[in-house]
């Protein structure tokens, strides 16, 4: 029997004084103020066992991790023709790259790069009566936690500097793959990215992907087939141009965000999240990647 508390404590201890921990995202000014020393890990098994170490209970900006949750909400409420507006191929490019949009007629490579997430945001803006509020309530329901909120300063900060996202949304609009106003879609997108969660809330949010669509309350949020597909997309596209590296080193479906969070899972077993705000050159948490690599090496728990 593995002593999981000991495993994550050891990983935390070995990495917590690391000097080379990457750079905090500064292109969203509000994120530049986060202390790079923060470092937390949380692990949750389907049978209810949980383990936390370090800053596992501090809130941080989930940023692109939210793209998996908007995809889950859209997929559970929208028929399969969602896949006619966004593809399921890895991009091999940074998260905010635009070139493939032009080459591929405004169909984003996948829903986890920014352009793809903007199409999913557009779908939700069309579908929901009060898009931001309804999405926030969906996240609260999935996590069974009504304390989850948007950080409005982060959303505002990104709106003021989100030139790349404005460019992507305008390109999508030009290609006829955005039905709502560019500003409305971006307002929704900046807010979804500005949701704050702790490592503990994140492992709860992602239980539905590890448990065939059933969330922490055991209610069905997704069909087993939808959960399977989202896991496949996380594995192949969850880390942008580092998805191959993550599969190679860690071997779990997962998703990163420029707030420094990473959440990953082993279907039928567990979800795990790590937060360390310093990012590597590809925009993924540097210590987060290392911690997860150590976790699957020490426990031999990966999909491979």
Catalytic annotation, pick one of 4, 24, 240, 276: 240
Shortest CB 36 distance to ligand GLN, Å: 16
C-beta closer to ligand GLN: residue 12 or 255:
255
Q: Confirm or reject binding of residue 274 to ligand GLN (CB under 6 A).
A: no
- Binding of ligand GLN by 63 (CB under 6 A): yes
First to last CA, the chain: 20
Q: Which residues contact 210 (CB under 8 A, 6 or more apart)?
A: 46, 265, 266, 267, 268, 269, 270, 271
d(CA 301, CA 102): 40
Catalytic residue status for 225? no
The CB-of-64 to ligand GLN minimum distance in angstroms stands at: 3
- Site for ligand GLN (CB under 6 A): which residue of 96, 180, 201, 273? 96
Asked about 27 being catalytic, the answer comes back as no
Q: Is 91 a catalytic residue?
A: no
Write out the binding residues for ligand GLN, residues 117-176 only, by CB under 6 A.
158, 165
Cβ closer to ligand GLN: 53 or 63?
A: 63
Contacts (CB under 6 A) with ligand GLN, residues 181-240: 193
Decide if 258 is catalytic. yes
Instruction: Decide if residue 258 touches ligand GLN (CB under 6 A).
Output: yes
Active-site annotation holder among 59, 67, 204, 290: 67
How far apart are alpha carbons 49 and 26 in whole angstroms? 36
Contacts of 206 (CB under 8 A, 6+ apart): 68, 263, 265, 271, 273
Q: Does 257 bind ligand GLN (CB under 6 A)?
A: yes
For helices 182-193 and 152-161, give the axis angle rounded to 10 degrees.
130
The pair phi, psi for residue 203, each rounded to 5°, is -65, -30
Structure tokens at 171: 């390109």
- The structure tokens listed for 94 are 């940074």
- Is 19 one of the annotated active-site residues of the chain? no
Q: Among candidates 85, 45, 80, 76, which has minimal Cα distance to 267?
A: 45
For ligand GLN, the closer of residues 7 and 31 by Cβ is 31
Q: Which residue is nearest to ligand GLN (CB)?
A: 64
Strand order, beta sheet including 270-275 = 50-54, 40-45, 270-275, 261-266, 254-256
- Nearest approach, Cβ of 102 to ligand GLN (angstroms)? 19
The answer to whether 64 contacts ligand GLN (rule: CB under 6 A) is yes
Q: Is 95 in the site for ligand GLN (CB under 6 A)?
A: yes
Q: For residue 114, state whether it binds ligand GLN (rule: CB under 6 A).
A: yes
Provide the token pair at 67: 């793209």
Q: Which is nearer to ligand GLN, 251 or 257 (CB)?
A: 257
User: 135-172 b/e with 16+ CB inside 10 Å = b?
Assistant: bbebbbebbebeebebbeebbebbbeebebbeebbebb
Q: How far is the CB of 111 from ligand GLN (least distance, A)?
A: 13
Q: Interface residues with ligand GLN (CB under 6 A)?
A: 63-64, 95-96, 114, 158, 165, 193, 257-258, 283
* Residues assigned a catalytic role: 64, 67, 189, 240, 258
């Amino acid at each position: 029997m593995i002593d999981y508390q000991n495993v994550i404590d050891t990983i935390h201890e070995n990495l917590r004084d690391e000097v080379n921990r990457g750079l905090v995202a500064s292109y969203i000014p509000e994120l530049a103020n986060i202390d790079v020393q923060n470092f937390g890990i949380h692990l949750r098994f389907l049978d209810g066992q949980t383990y936390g170490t370090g800053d596992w209970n501090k809130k941080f900006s989930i940023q692109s991790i939210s793209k998996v949750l908007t995809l889950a909400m859209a997929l559970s409420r929208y028929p399969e023709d969602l896949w006619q507006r966004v593809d399921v191929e890895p991009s091999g490019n940074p998260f905010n790259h635009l070139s493939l949009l032009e080459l591929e007629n405004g169909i984003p490579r996948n829903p986890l790069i920014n352009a793809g997430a903007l199409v999913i945001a557009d779908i939700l803006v069309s579908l929901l009566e009060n898009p931001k509020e309804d999405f926030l309530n969906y996240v609260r329901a999935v996590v069974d936690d009504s304390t989850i909120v948007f950080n409005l300063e982060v959303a505002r900060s990104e709106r003021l500097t989100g030139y790349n996202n404005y460019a992507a949304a305008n390109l999508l609009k030009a290609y006829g793959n955005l039905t709502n106003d560019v500003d409305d879609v971006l307002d929704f997108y900046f807010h979804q990215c500005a949701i704050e969660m702790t490592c503990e809330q994140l492992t709860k949010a992602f239980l539905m992907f590890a448990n065939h669509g059933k969330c922490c309350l055991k209610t069905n949020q997704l069909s087993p087939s939808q959960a399977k597909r989202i896991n496949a997309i996380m594995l192949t596209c969850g880390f942008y141009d580092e998805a191959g590296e993550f599969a190679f080193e860690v071997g779990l479906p997962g998703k990163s965000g420029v707030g420094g969070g990473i959440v990953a899972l082993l279907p039928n077993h567990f979800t795990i999240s790590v937060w360390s705000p310093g990012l590597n050159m590809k925009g993924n948490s540097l210590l987060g990647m290392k911690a997860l690599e150590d976790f699957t090496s020490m426990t031999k728990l990966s999909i491979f």
